Amino acid sequence: MGCILAKEASPPPTPSSLGSRRREKDRTVAPVASGRKSQATLPRNETAVDASATVTEVATRQEDAERPAGKRPARRRRQRPEPRLSNPPGHVHGELLAAGWPSWLSNVAGEAIKGWTPRRADTFEKIDKIGQGTYSNVYKARDMLTGKIVALKKVRFDNMEPESVKFMAREILILRRLDHPNVVKLEGLVTSRMTCSLYLVFEYMEHDLAGLAASPTIKFTEPQVKCYMQQLLSGLEHCHNNGVLHRDIKGSNLLIDNEGLLKIADFGLATFFDPNHKHPMTSRVVTLWYRAPELLLGATDYGVGIDLWSAGCILAELLAEKPIMPGRTEVEQLHKIFKLCGSPSEDYWKKSRLPHATIFKPQQSYKRCIKETFKDFPSSSLPLIETLLAIDPAERLTATAALNSEFFSTPPYACEPSSLPKYPPSKEMDAKLRDEETRRLKTAGGKGNINGTKKTRTRDRAMRAVPAPDANAELQVNIDRRRLITHANAKSKSEKFPPPHQDGALGYPLESLHHMDPAFDPPEASFGTAFPYQKGGMTAWSGPLIDSAAAGNPRRKKKSAGNSQIPTNSKQLPASQAAETSPTQNKSQSTQSFKQPHLVCASGMDKVMKLASQKAVVIFSLSSCCMCHTVKSLFHDLGVDAAVYELDEDPRGREMEKALAKLVGRNPPVPAVFIGGKPVGSTDRIMSLHLGGKLVPLLRDAGALWV
């Protein structure tokens, strides 16, 4: 009777509810992550606990159940964490801070690092810096606890934008989800509470496929090609079965160890996908030479077919010993694809409804000629290449179907990875260094070369020292030098095989606007927009590079009405301070350079307007701004030479950033695009104008486009 008086009236229990209550007696919960001691079992009068409830929610329900009914507080609705947004609840954030994670990381990427404990930086010994990219450096290091050699990928976050941290959080989530012998394994994370850098710890791999294929002493046999392709497709099969698209398959991202084991690496552009619940994705992914036609045509609804297209390009390259479609722009890349794989049918154009179909639709009809072009390939490989390089992504099938093709089921069969030859460490960097040494020796021989080698001084000057990046990174000095290369006249095997190391989201080499000396590793910045060290001597302007051989005798730039107030200088800017230009530009412009006008500006606003009037198209950005790459790629594909000015490369950058924010009416103001000296908008505005057909007339009116 006492029990009845202490509780509100309730309907009589049903047999099913009685059974559930009996089961509740035996249900246990995990201990609460707090200072108080929690009960091990639920009280008898507690309702069934939802399986997705957190530990703190269970503890709260227990406390409520122990109180009298009239004194129980009104229960507030709790927000459950959303993995895609990485917004952990407060108690999870506290647990991450207690585990040693910095707040700037746990606030944004809590879901990615949940359950892990950060490694201390002093438990690793750096051996060598093996690469540098736009947002990361890569070091060869030794784990002091185990003695194992590892690769440390240091990712820098130089601003307050949580989006850049979320991109890295997605990569960590993807790497934690995948577990396969042919996918690189994330072994740990190293971070600090005070700095804005994060180290990703990977196993160290001695080779990459691009470096091995470029070696003049290495020629793959058919069983070896089958072995590498079998491992690549097995890794892709695992990724796709776990809802992951890699979106940047290429030779330099396929790492190989001394046991012949191939692993897919660099998931910086990878994303989750669900074929049953599709959502729009960006088409600005995959390095240009390996980019599927639907991406070039602007598709935002795609699937595993884009990775399979890249795999087909890799297979054909290994058999042909050179790239099969080395385009320089998106238009040229599509032209090469249609010439080899045939023009899409009218049904395909109608069915796909791709955004850029009307712009890039070929006027001439091409016949598919893969069998004729690759007639010297093993006959069993042609059906697989035909499938993987199908124009319609639906016809590329899956990685599982590719593994079951006759290419792998007919002799000679794929060899075991352990039976592959033991190669010396060979990556793209090593191949380029070998070519440079050979070229240097030939040049030193002069006319009296004992081998009778014909002098090629003009080409040699343009082809000097282009060491390519290691595994997942890029040496910055190589980006500067690579702009002097014309891949069309490359003669050595390593010049032909590896593509220019490009950002996967773009179709051209990354810009050289960050740190001019590759040996210079700047101090780690605090997590903010303050610039902790002076960069006044490293101001970079967009424009053609100066040939180092001609740097001693530069031309004097004439004054014009637009820049008459800017003092001329008889010395050109060094090549390291110049930025990229369109590879299709006239060679006669190769000695043109822009002066540094900041000395005559009275304020940040004056300087912004001064810089905005220097060229027809000017982009203001930060060195860590992700969105700037998209708009630069668009102008590059249109043949527009846009000047890029990075505010954090100037000692007065903060003043200019504030002035720019007032001018464009938003904060942060970058990227900000000026056309004809007037602000047009950010990346979204430029892309909207382009898709609406209004960008080209605007550029033509400003004198930036002549055709």
**Residue range 574-623, pLDDT digits in tens:** 433 333 333 333 433 333 333 344 434 457 788 888 888 878 899 988 86
- Position 392 scores a pLDDT of 93
DSSP H helical segments within 285-353, as ranges?
A: 293-296, 305-320, 330-341, 346-352
Q: Which amino acid is at 470?
A: D
User: Where in the sequence numbering do the catalytic residues fall?
Assistant: 248
For β-strands 643-646 and 617-621, DSSP reports them as: parallel
Hey, is 154 helix, strand or coil? strand
Hey, is 233 helix, strand or coil? helix
- Judge whether 314 and 209 are in contact, CB under 8 Å: yes
What's the rounded Cα separation, in Å, for the pair 321 and 697? 43
Q: Look at residues 306, 505, 325 and name the one whose alpha carbon lies nearest to residue 388.
A: 306
What's the rounded Cα separation, in Å, for the pair 295 and 310? 12
Q: Which amino acid is at 212?
A: L
For β-strands 136-143 and 149-156, DSSP reports them as: antiparallel
Q: Look at residues 611, 621, 624 and name the one whose alpha carbon lies nearest to residue 686.
A: 621
Which residues, given as ranges, of the chain have pLDDT below 70? 1-100, 102-104, 131-135, 157-161, 192-195, 425-440, 442-602, 623-627, 705-707
CA distances from 484 to 162, 587, 607 (A): 36, 11, 31
Preceding omega of 13 cis (within 30 degrees of 0): no
Which domains does the chain possess? 93-204 (3.30.200.20), 206-437 (1.10.510.10), 604-702 (3.40.30.10)
Q: Is 153 marked within a binding site? A: yes
Q: Which amino acid is at 399?
A: A
| DSSP structure string for 76-100 | PPPPPP-TTTT---HHHHHHHHHHT
Residue 22 parent element (H or E): helix 15-25
What's the rounded Cα separation, in Å, for the pair 384 and 405? 7
What's the rounded Cα separation, in Å, for the pair 401 and 234? 11
Hey, is 138 helix, strand or coil? strand
What's the rounded Cα separation, in Å, for the pair 668 and 619? 14
Q: What are phi and psi of 318, to 5 degrees?
A: -65, -35
Sign (positive/negative) of CA torsion 206, 211, 213, 218? negative
- Position 527 scores a pLDDT of 28
- Judge whether 336 and 327 are in contact, CB under 8 Å: yes
Place of tokens 């299709």: 584
Structure tokens, 142: 């030794």
Q: What are phi and psi of 498, to 5 degrees?
A: -75, 135
CA distances from 392 to 10, 164, 298, 344, 667 (A): 62, 34, 14, 8, 42
Structure tokens, 312: 């087909």
Q: Look at residues 214, 212, 187 and name the one whose alpha carbon lies nearest to residue 201.
A: 187
Q: Look at residues 240, 307, 234 and name the one whose alpha carbon lies nearest to residue 273.
A: 240
Contacts of 583 (CB under 8 A, 6+ apart): 328, 329, 483, 486, 508
Structure tokens, 64: 């409520």
Structure tokens, 216: 């003049």
Q: Which amino acid is at 90?
A: G
What's the rounded Cα separation, in Å, for the pair 558 and 554? 13
| DSSP structure string for 535-596 | -GGG--B-SPPPPGGGTTSPPPPPP-GGGTTSPP-SSPPPGGGB----TTS-GGGTT-----
What's the rounded Cα separation, in Å, for the pair 502 and 510? 6
Helices (H) and strands (E) in the chain, counts: 26, 14
- Judge whether 669 and 663 are in contact, CB under 8 Å: yes
- A 10 A CB-CB count for 151 gives 25
